[in-house]
Amino acid sequence: MFGSLLIANRGEIACRVMRTARAMGVRTIAVYSDADRDSRHVALADEALRIGEAAPRASYLSIEAILQAARAAGAEAIHPGYGFLSENATFAQACAQAGIVFVGPPASAIRAMGDKASAKALMQRAGVPVVPGYHAAEQDPALLAQEAAAIGFPLLIKASAGGGGKGMRLVRAAADFAAALAGAQGEAASAFGDARVLLERYLETPRHIEIQVFADTHGHCLSLFERDCSVQRRHQKVLEEAPAPGIAPATRAAMGEAAVAAARAVGYVGAGTVEFIAEDDAFFFMEMNTRLQVEHPVTEGITGLDLVEWQLRVAAGERLPPAPDAPRGHAIEARLYAEDPTNNYLPSVGRIRHLRLPDGVRVETGVRAGDAVTPDYDPMIAKLIATGEDRPAALRALEAGLAATEVVGVRTNAALLLATLRHPEFRAGGVDTGFLGRHPDLLAESPEPPREAVLAAAFAVLAEPAEDASPWSARDGWRINLPASRSLVLRHAGTEIGIEAAPERDGWRVGLAGETHRLHGALADAAVALAIDGRRLRAGLFREGARIAVLRDGQCHEFELADRLAGPDAASEADGHIASPIPGRVVRVLVAEGETVTRGAALVVVEAMKMELTLVADRDGTIAHLRCTVGEMVGEGVELVAIAD
C-alpha cells in the first residue's frame, strides 16, 4: 500500500476519501482553489496545497497544477473523486507518466467508454443489450433523418461526447426532427466541443438502473448489485436506493452479468458503474461511468463494504476479495442541494448561516456553518444515507433525517425530498425517470407561512431574556394604569404580520389574524420547545439580529422583526435598477447604452453553477447605464443595468 494520497477534488467526496485513507494509515493531501481556502476538506487533510483561482479551469481542471502539487507533496497516488478530472483519460495517462498511481481505470478504458456512440457499438459486439438506434459516425442531416424514420418516433437525440442532459432533445414527430437536430448539435458543440449526436428509441416510462462493478489487475471482475436512480431532475439524480425495488432475481443476475461483460470488454480496473435504462422486463446499456459514483454509499449500505478502501487496495495491486452472495437489507440516499425547486431548480448561492445535519443516518458533507455556496462549483450541501432491514425501515429513517435537517442562508430541496418520500407512488416502489415531472404538486409552496411557524417566531421574540435585571429592561409589557401588552410586526416574503401579545402567569396570550392562542415553552440550543393551546411542538430556531428562522419538517421559514419607527425601505421603491439575484458570471450582454427596451426584454445573462439566468427589463425605457461586461464575476444584489424613462 502506498503511503501518501493526493485527492484531486473538493467537497464531500474529498472528505469521504480522506476518512478511509487515514483509517488505513495513508497520509492525505488536499488541493484547493482560492474559493476553498478555508473549506472543510482542507481542514481535514494532513497537508493542503493551493492550485489556483476559483474557476475550475484554473484549479481543479488543471492537470499541470494538480501534478505539480503532487510532486511538491511527494504524493505516491492520486484519487480523482468524481467530476472534474475523474473521467479524463489524459489525466490518467499523465499520472502514469509522472510515476504516480492513478486510483481508477487505465486511460484506455476511460477513452473506450468516454464516447457514447463508440461505446455502444463496442457493447453490441460484447453482447450487451443496447437501446435500438443509430450510433455510427456519419452525421449527414439527411442520413440522420432517414435513420430516425427507421427507428420510429418518439426518439431521443443525444450528444455523443457527453451527458448531463446537454445536447439532448426528445422528438415526437418527423416534422420536428430537423429543428431538434440543429438545436442538439449546437448545444453539444458548445458544451463538449463536439457536435456529433446519436439517435435512440425513446422509452416512455423508463427506470434508471445501474450496476456497481469492480475489477482488479489479476483478471477478476464482479458485480455488487444494482441501484435504482430513477428520481431525477434535469436528467440528474436526486434519490438513489439499493437494491432496486421490484427487480426480479433473474433480472438482477442478467444485468450483473451484462455489466461484468461490459467492464471486461474494455479491460476495466477499479470501481465503475454500468448504467442501464429499463422498461418492463427489458434493459439496455446506456453508458459506463468510469469512476466512483456519488451514490456509492447505498451499495456500501447493502454490502457492508468500503468501496474507497477497495479502490485503494486494487490500485496498490491487491486482489479483490469474494463478493457478497446477496444484498443485505435496504439503503437509500438523498442529495441535499442548495437550490430552489420552485424556480426551475435554480442554484441558491450565499453563506450558510446555520447548519444542523441529523443523527441516525450516515451524512457525507463538505461544508460547515459559515461556509459559502459559490457559483463556481456543484451546489450539493450533503448526502444523507439511511439503511434498514427492509425498504420501509430505510425510508422511515431517511424521512426522519430529512425532517431534522436545518439549513439557513440558502434555499434547499429538503421539502421536495420529503414530499417525494411520502408520495404513495414512490412508497410503492418502481417509479420511472418522469416521476418529478408528473408531480408538480410536490413543488407547491403556500404563499403564507404555517401558523405554527409564525407563533414560534413571535415566541422567540417574546421570550427573549432581558439584558439585565433592571425593570426598565423587562420585556413583559408592563405599563402604568394599562393592561400589559406588546405589539409585534413580523415580515415574511414582503408581507407584514401583526401580532398582539399579553403576558400570562406561565406564558403569553397571543392574537394573530383574528384568533387567540396561548403559548408557553422555552428557548434552548438553537431550538424552541413550544406548547400552542396545549399542543406541543419542537422546531429549530436561528436568530441573527432582527432576522428569525424557524426550521421544521425540512422547511426554513424566515421572518424579520420590523422596526415600526423606521422609514420606508428606499430600495423597495426603486424602479429600473436591474440587479443580479445570485452571485455568478456574466456570459452575455444583450443590450447597449442608449438602446430603447420594453418591459420583459432580455438584458443580461448570468451563469451560476452551470445554469443560466436571464435578467429582464422591469419597465419600458432607455438603457441609461450598463455596469457589467461579459466574463465579469458579479455578486448578489449588484446592479447590472439601469433603465431610465
pLDDT at 609: 58
DSSP 248: -
What band does 571 get if pLDDT is binned at 50, 70 and 90? Answer: very low
Alpha carbon 332 to chain centroid distance? 16
Q: In 351-450, where does DSSP find H-type helix?
A: 391-403, 414-422, 424-428, 435-438
- Angle formed by the axes of helices 307-315 and 11-23, nearest 10°: 70
Distance of CA 617 to the CA centre of its chain: 30
Amino acid at 31: V
Query: In whole angstroms, what is the distance from residue 413 CA to residue 201 CA?
Result: 32
CA torsion sign, 93 to 95 to 98 to 101? Answer: negative
pLDDT tens-place string over residues 83-136? 899 999 999 999 999 999 999 999 999 999 988 778 888 998 999 999 889 988
pLDDT attached to residue 253: 92
Which residues neighbour 320 within 8 Å (Cβ) at sequence distance 6 or greater?
Answer: 214, 215, 216, 218, 220, 222, 310, 314
pLDDT on residue 469: 56
Terminus-to-terminus CA distance in the chain, angstroms?
71
Cβ(452)–Cβ(536) below 8 Å: no
Task: Write the pLDDT tens digit of every residue in 227-250.
Answer: 999 999 888 899 999 999 999 889
The pLDDT value given to residue 472: 64
> What does the alpha-carbon distance between residue 431 and residue 343 come to, in Å, rounded to a whole number?
23
Strands laid side by side in the 633-634 sheet: 611-616, 602-608, 584-589, 633-634
pLDDT of the residue at 573: 43
Q: Is pLDDT at 570 greater than 50 in this prediction?
A: no
Coil, strand or helix: which one is 168? coil
Distance CA(614)–CA(344), nearest Å, equals 13
Over residues 534-566, the pLDDT tens digits come to 999 999 999 988 899 999 999 999 999 987 655
Contact 408/542 with Cβ under 8 angstroms?
yes
Mean pLDDT to the nearest integer, 383-409? 97
Question: Has residue 212 got a pLDDT over 50?
Answer: yes
Exposure pattern of 59-93 as b/e (b: 16+ CB <10 Å)?
bbbbbebbbebbeebebbbbbbbebbbbbbbebbb
- Catalytic residue positions? 291
Q: What share of the chain is helix, strand, coil (3-state, %, to 5)?
A: 30, 35, 35
Domains in the chain, start-ordered, CATH in brackets? 4-103 (3.40.50.20), 132-201 (3.30.1490.20), 207-443 (3.30.470.20), 451-561 (3.30.700.30), 573-644 (2.40.50.100)
Strands (E), 14-147: 27-33, 47-52, 77-79, 101-102, 133-134
The mean of the pLDDT values for the chain is: 90
The dihedral through the CA atoms of 570, 575, 579, 581 has a sign that is positive
* pLDDT tens digits, 598-632: 988 999 988 875 567 889 998 899 999 898 988 88
Structure-block grid coordinates of residue 35: 474559493
Number of residues that this document lists for the chain:
645
Q: What is the pLDDT of residue 572?
A: 40
Question: What 3-state class would DSSP assign to 109?
Answer: helix
> Could you read off the pLDDT of 43-82 as tens digits, one per residue?
999 999 999 999 899 999 999 999 999 999 999 999 999 9
Count the alpha carbons within 13 Å of 285 in the hemisphere toward its beta carbon.
30
pTM of the shown model: 0.82
Q: Give pLDDT, residue 316.
A: 97
Burial class (CB in 10 A: 0-12, 13-18, 19+), 378: buried
Among 68, 122, 118, 74, CA closest to 94: 68
Average pLDDT value for residue range 148-176: 89
Q: Which of 618, 616, 621, 625 is nearest to 645 (CA)?
A: 621
Q: In this model, does residue 328 exceed pLDDT 70?
A: yes
Higher-pLDDT residue of 348 and 39 is 39
Query: 517-532: per-residue pLDDT in tens?
Result: 999 999 988 899 999 9
The grid cell for 225 is: 448489485
Q: Cell numbers of 535, please?
A: 399542543
- Asked if the peptide bond before residue 243 counts as cis, ω within 30 degrees of 0, the response is yes
CA–CA gap between residue 77 and residue 70 (Å, rounded) = 8
- The DSSP output letter for 389 is S
Which among 279, 294, 266, 310 is positioned nearest to 125, based on CA atoms? 266
User: Edge-to-edge strands of the sheet including 236-242?
Assistant: 282-289, 270-279, 207-215, 221-233, 236-242, 330-337, 380-388, 362-365
Closest CA to 401 of 454, 343, 331: 331
